């Protein structure tokens, strides 16, 4: 009686190896216009390390760069549900919503982020951007002015304020008068 068994090895189902080195390789792939391969690698690392938030955040960012905003939002939400103290993730998630042209969602997210990072200039700027994109330039201007009161050297905010002021000043009438007085 002879027993023959064949073992076949396909793709590994769970990541085996150093996640940091694999993450570094995936980043190189992503920055060298091989994002699909990078995303596959990142997803594979997450099979063993689902709470490695830096990897998941980078994966979400690559989705966002490719215009896959819903996939990116899902990944950002996963991270923020588990760890709300990740400012970079909040910023990336809000930007993702702005790029997806869902400014109300971006505004809601910015307001949540401000609960954890109150008066943060970067998040306030994103909130103003979301307000401006919801056709509420008056509120955006108030937010930007509040930001500039606390951080007067914020260049993006200065530029955005000038843009908002210009947008809001279409119905302004100016009056100018001049008097010349002559003597002998």
Phi, psi of 33, deg, nearest 5: 60, 35
Whether the CB-CB separation of 126 and 93 falls below 8 Å is answered with no
- pLDDT at position 166, please? 84
Confidence of residue 174 (pLDDT cuts 50, 70, 90): low
Phi/psi of residue 2, each to 5°?
Answer: -120, 125
Number of residues that this document lists for the chain: 184
164 membership: H or E segment, kind and range: helix 155-168
Higher-pLDDT residue of 86 and 18 is 86
Report the percentage of the chain scoring pLDDT > 90. 60
Tell me how far the alpha carbon of residue 48 is from its chain's centroid: 26
Tens-digit pLDDT profile for residues 103-153? 999 999 999 999 999 889 999 999 999 999 998 889 999 999 999 999 999
Please say whether the beta carbons of 75 and 60 come within 8 A.
Answer: yes
**Given a cut of 90, is residue 8 above it in pLDDT?**
no
Query: How many CA within 13 A on the CB side of residue 169?
Result: 9
User: Which residues have C-beta within 8 Å of that of residue 151, sequence separation ≥ 6?
Assistant: 121, 157
Mean pLDDT for the chain overall: 87
Summarised one tens digit per residue, pLDDT across range 87-103 is: 999 999 999 999 999 99
Q: Which two tokens stand for residue 149?
A: 């009161």
Q: Is residue 2 predicted with pLDDT exceeding 60?
A: no
Three-point CA angle 96, 97, 103, nearest 5°? 150
Mean pLDDT of 21-42: 91
């Amino acid at each position: 009686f002879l027993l023959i068994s064949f073992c076949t090895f396909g793709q590994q189902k769970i990541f085996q190896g150093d996640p940091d080195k694999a993450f570094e390789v995936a980043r190189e792939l992503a920055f060298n216009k091989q994002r699909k391969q990078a995303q596959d690698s990142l997803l594979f690392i997450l099979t063993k390390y689902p709470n490695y938030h830096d990897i998941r955040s980078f994966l979400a960012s690559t989705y966002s760069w490719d215009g896959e905003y819903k996939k990116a939002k899902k990944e950002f939400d996963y991270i923020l549900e588990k760890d709300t103290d990740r400012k970079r993730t909040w910023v990336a998630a809000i930007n993702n919503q702005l790029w997806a042209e869902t400014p109300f969602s971006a505004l809601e997210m910015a307001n949540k982020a401000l609960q954890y990072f109150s008066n943060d200039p970067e998040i306030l700027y994103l909130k103003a951007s979301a307000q401006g994109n919801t056709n509420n330039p008056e509120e955006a201007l108030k937010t930007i002015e509040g930001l500039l009161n606390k951080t007067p050297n914020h260049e993006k905010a200065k530029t955005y304020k000038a843009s908002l002021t210009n947008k809001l000043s279409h119905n302004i009438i100016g009056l100018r008068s001049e008097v010349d007085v002559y003597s002998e």
